[in-house]
Amino acid sequence: MNREHAGLDRLIFVFAGWLLATAVWAADEAQLEKGRALAFDRNKGNCLSCHMIAGGELPGNGGPPLIQMKARFPDRQVLRDQIWDSSIRNPQTIMPPYGRHQILSEEELDAVTDYIHSL
């Protein structure tokens, strides 16, 4: 392979990497927006009924504010488990078991978890 082709191969490799990173970023943004919409939906996730979330209107105060979630839940799966059924960690909770009662589908749970974890 001559130098000209090697340089072109590197350029193609870098461009392909950029395209892949852009596609992943766009998918992540779409997932976060879907999770946000579900969390703010008063008929679905309804997180605002109990939690303050930045950008949410008329939040409740029955639960803690959803801030610094990666610090509070470094392991995303622990947060997902909490949303799926918070009574596992706290039997006296008033939080609905979104997964156990099938209030949210598994796909919706993942989107909400991704969004809440991003806060």
Domain contains 6 = no
The count of structural domains within the chain is: 1
Residue 52 has pLDDT above 50, yes or no: yes
Residue 107 has pLDDT above 50, yes or no: yes
What does the alpha-carbon distance between residue 60 and residue 58 come to, in Å, rounded to a whole number?
A: 7
- Flag whether the pTM goes above 0.85: no
Domain contains 15 = no
Domain contains 4 = no
Domain contains 18 = no
Burial of 103 (0-12, 13-18, 19+ CB in 10 A): middle
Domain contains 50 = yes
Mean per-residue pLDDT for 75-82?
Answer: 96
Q: What is the CATH number of the domain that holds 109?
A: 1.10.760.10
Domain contains 101 = yes
Q: What domain range is 92 assigned to? A: 30-118
